[in-house]
Amino acid sequence: MKKEELRLIIQEGVRQTLREEEIEQAADGLEKLMGSALDDFAKAYDANEEEAKKEVEDSEETINEAVGAIAIIGFMLALPKILEIMVKGVSKLVKGVKKILGKTPAKDDKEGQEDMAQKIIDGLHKWHKGYIYGLQIMLKYTGIFKKAKIKKPAAQKKAAEMLYYTIIAGLAIYSGVGAVSAFKSAMSGAAHGGSFSLSAFEAAMATVKSGEVASFLGELGLEATSAADVAV
């Protein structure tokens, strides 16, 4: 083996090591941020539960359960207290995610896009079930599920999961990753790829093109997204 070839191999090895360390550090930072955001969500719900319940009860808006998560999101847009809980529950994520995850990758930077996706997948792993459960509790006890005629626990969990992945889709696009394919590729390299629901994420990505979801993500502080920003 020539010295030049050996030098290139060593350089690539060092680059890959630094790349892995950067992904791990960013994922750890996002994990801490997610935990703090979940705590804020719980506190905001506890502080506003009664007012939120009354707001839902008094609302004359209806929910078309056949439309699913989009209909629930559209209903939530008309409820200031519910939105307040949601905003407080993601505020730290929105404010800190770009700093923690690092430079936004270019759309044609395949490796950078996949690395960003891997950071998100591993960073969300520890708290994603807790966040989905928290959303399910809020939707149930404020009466939103009742309005939507979603009675079965399995259906309620699915609706909460879709709301969660809608937020994550917005967060991913906000972080510079609008391609589902980047997450699909990143799952194999991610330490916790098996805990990430690609099907739910892909379905959520499709909904960000709707007016209700774009408005909802805007209320959360995530930049409005055009259809051009989302790819498969």
Residues 209-230 have a mean pLDDT of: 76
Q: Yes or no: say if 175 and 98 are a contact pair by the CB < 8 Å rule.
A: yes
| DSSP, residue by residue, 79-123 | -HHHHHHHHHHHHHHHHHHHHHH-SPPPTT-HHHHHHHHHHHHHH
Q: How many CA atoms lie within 13 A of 223 on its CB side?
A: 13
Q: What is the pLDDT of residues 148-191, one digit of tens each?
A: 989 999 999 999 999 999 999 999 999 999 889 999 999 988 88
Q: Which amino acid is at 97?
A: V
Within the chain, residue ranges assigned H as helices are 3-58, 69-76, 80-101, 110-124, 128-141, 144-148, 153-174, 180-189, 198-207, 211-219
**pLDDT of 228 higher than 50:** no
Q: Which amino acid is at 179?
A: A
Angular region, 96: left φ>0, alpha ψ -120 to 50, beta rest: alpha
Supply the pTM of this predicted model.
0.88
**pLDDT of 118 higher than 80:** yes
Return mean pLDDT, the chain: 87
